[in-house]
Structure 1
Amino acid sequence: MIRIKKDKLIFKKSARQSQDIVNQPLIFASARLPLFYKVLVINK
């Protein structure tokens, strides 16, 4: 019983980590977006 619980916990953790890896570029892009807009405005 305990081992199954532990495996489930590990699975949940790894699933969350893989989701973080997927979300990381999106967070990075959304953080950089205002900078790109500023550059576009300055260049115009």
Structure 2
Amino acid sequence: KDKIWGIGLSMWDEERFCVDKWKGQNLLGKILMQVRAEISVQNQNTEK
């Protein structure tokens, strides 16, 4: 239910599937997606 690092909802709350209803900033999720994107780009560059 963390409102800074998470979405501010419990994992059992049905609203967790609707981004518009999130009560938190989800910073950890945003960071995770950014890191995944950077790793993907690095992998594409090393495959060439």
- TM (norm. structure 1) is 0.53
Q: Are positions 1:18 and 2:41 aligned together? A: yes
The match for 2:31 among 2, 5, 8 is 8
State the distance in 1 between where 2:33 and 2:39 align: 10
Percent identity between the aligned chains? Answer: 8
How much does 1:9 deviate?
0.3
Structure of larger gyration radius? 1
Partner of residue 16, structure 2: none
Q: Return 5+ residue gaps in structure 1 as ranges.
A: 26-44
**One-letter amino acid matched to 1:20:** N
Q: Return 5+ residue gaps in structure 2 as ranges.
A: 7-25
Structure in which a larger fraction of residues adopt helix? 1
- TM (norm. structure 2) is 0.49
Which one has more relative contact order, counting CA pairs under 8 Å at least 6 apart? 2
Q: RMSD of aligned C-alpha atoms?
A: 0.6
How much does 1:4 deviate?
0.2
